Structure 1
Amino acid sequence: MSKVFRPGILYLLLTLVSPALAQAEPDVSLTEKPALFLLAEVWPWGYFDENREPTGLLSQLVEQLASTAELPLASRVVPHQRLLHEFRRGEADFTVVFENPFLEEFATSLGPVLETNMLLISMEGSDQELSLKGLSGRTIGYIRGTYYGEAFEHDDSVIKVPLHNMEQALDMLMMGRVDTIISSDVVLSHSLKALKLKVDAFRYRVHAPGYPANLYMAHQSLHPEYGPLIKAALDKMRASGELDEIFALPRH
């Protein structure tokens, strides 16, 4: 299921009052097929509400982009491990994921949406060094499909344990099933608050500071003309502070 965001509601009301105006100035956004965003099913980035409608931080982003750019945009939430495969096959126009050189083969970055700190996390009281070198031979839990940067991607000295979501990762860590987990500060902070876990129950170290998540447009996009408009809207939202507001870390 996908969610569609269409601007131009005021214009639609005007067309009901004045058919002559509607005939003179047709609104393309009301008739054109929306451009599609693929969103990873990772809470809180993308998930489904009780009505099985896409929601989450990235859904908010798409809604605001549609309003700012005055373009019809839709979003569809898919399992994280399928997202890049479907995006590469041209099944969507845009996506937002952590910066990944693999995407350069079939997509173009329109700019960063946010920068996040990638963290290594262990239980408070553990004495292990929170670095890839210090964790050599130990287990690190990570959310399957997430790109955590070149260093983690190519490190073969640690034992990487793929997990479904951060709730499972935290459970595994607290039960001692993994030595450490890796996460963005956004996902971790939202998860700790939602699960009512104490921040000081864990140890943290920044693994990759300021790691960007970018908005990518597929080379096979059916709406290449939207690229400059989406980029301009993204730049405007960044300058106004709207992006910071959407992705602000929750207070604990």
Structure 2
Amino acid sequence: MKMLDVIATSILMTASLTGAGYAQEAPKNLRIGTSLTQMPWGFYDDNQKPTGVDVALCGAIAKQLGSNAEFISLDFKGLIPALQADRFDMVCAAMYITPEREQAIAMVPYIQASQTVVTKKTADIEGLEGLCGRSVSVLQGSGSLKVLQDASSKCEAAGKPAVTIQAFDTQPVAIRALENDSVEGFIATDSLISYYMSKNDSLKKVATGISPTKLGIGFQTNNKALAKLVADALTAMKADGSYDAVLKQWGIESAALK
């Protein structure tokens, strides 16, 4: 065999092996755990199909990897245990990156977020300190719950009544608690609140931009190969504009990770 033929054969074999390795690391069907009760992050449209920021963005990531996205919905608080039990390949559900979560799972940042508190327009509450002695609803297991617990502790440290926290399994139920006057306030991510208020003009923001942090896509700690592939896919999407396009579609361009 001629030397050029040997070189060409070697290149083809290397390319084939590289492609095979990539295919093994990126599953053909990428199982994505999410919570389809969080507008605008994840919810069902009028045809009962999954939609939202996380569905669009993590669906685009799957496409970038050459995988088919399969979204599996659970209550938010059950997502990490289900990931650890291998029910998903990854979790994409507007999940805050916290030291506690990073002890349990690997996380790849994908969006910047902070917290907002809303009340009825007629309420006389202003700022986080105004929540002392008031009742506030929140999603169970969320970063918003931690913010609310810290605010309540500060109330008590200042000799004021604690915040009465009502934590619910889904965002819609937590929001309805405010609408029905079961609580006096509701706390969630800025993006979720802005989306919700665009459809409901009975509320007002009383505190915003609280505790800015990053949201992360979660992986089993022993699946760092997939985490790396997803991080690389996000980098490619930022470069080609598809990442910004998804955020613009949902009106949350300001949440882009720099």
Decide: shared fold, TM above 0.5.
yes
2:189 is the alignment partner of 1:189: no
TM-score w.r.t. the length of structure 2 is 0.71
Contact 2:28/2:67, CA 8 A, preserved across alignment: no
Write 1 or 2 for the structure with the bigger share of helix. Answer: 2
Q: Distance in 2 between matches of 1:207 and 1:32?
A: 37
Cα deviation, 1:97-119, whole Å, max 9, x if unaligned, reads 12232222231122x21112310
2:175 is the alignment partner of 1:180: no
Corresponding residue of 2:127: 130
TM-score w.r.t. the length of structure 1 is 0.73
Corresponding residue of 2:106: 108
Contact 1:62/1:74, CA 8 A, preserved across alignment: no
Contact 1:54/1:76, CA 8 A, preserved across alignment: no
Distance of aligned partners of 1:165 and 1:189 in 2 relative to their CA distance in 1, 3 Å threshold: farther
Please report how far the alpha carbon of residue 84 of structure 1 lies from its aligned counterpart in structure 2 after TM superposition: 1.9
- Structure 1 alignment gaps of length 5 or more: 1-23
SS in structure 2 opposite 1:134? helix
Corresponding residue of 2:29: 34
SS in structure 2 opposite 1:205? strand
Cα deviation, 1:154-206, whole Å, max 9, x if unaligned, reads 4442111123544444433243321111011221222233xx3227x423311
1:71-86 equivalent positions in 2, closer than 5 A: 71-86=67-82
Distance of aligned partners of 1:168 and 1:91 in 2 relative to their CA distance in 1, 3 Å threshold: closer
- Structure 2 alignment gaps of length 5 or more: 1-14, 154-161, 253-258
Corresponding residue of 2:12: none
2:233 is the alignment partner of 1:233: yes
The two structures, once aligned, show a CA RMSD in angstroms of: 3.1
Contact 1:93/1:218, CA 8 A, preserved across alignment: yes
Contact 2:75/2:170, CA 8 A, preserved across alignment: no
Q: Distance in 1 between matches of 2:64 and 2:36?
A: 25
Amino acid at match of 1:178: V
Q: Distance in 2 between matches of 1:139 and 1:240?
A: 45
Please report how far the alpha carbon of residue 51 of structure 1 lies from its aligned counterpart in structure 2 after TM superposition: 5.8
Please report how far the alpha carbon of residue 120 of structure 1 lies from its aligned counterpart in structure 2 after TM superposition: 1.0
Contact 1:121/1:130, CA 8 A, preserved across alignment: no
Contact 2:53/2:247, CA 8 A, preserved across alignment: yes
Cα deviation, 1:15-68, whole Å, max 9, x if unaligned, reads xxxxxxxxx969755995433221123232223446654333211112211222
Q: Among 146, 155, 163, which residue is 2:142 paired with?
A: 146
Q: Among 218, 223, 238, which residue is 1:216 paired with?
A: 218
Please report how far the alpha carbon of residue 239 of structure 1 lies from its aligned counterpart in structure 2 after TM superposition: 4.2
Corresponding residue of 2:205: 203
Contact 2:29/2:69, CA 8 A, preserved across alignment: yes
SS in structure 2 opposite 1:87? helix
SS in structure 2 opposite 1:219? coil
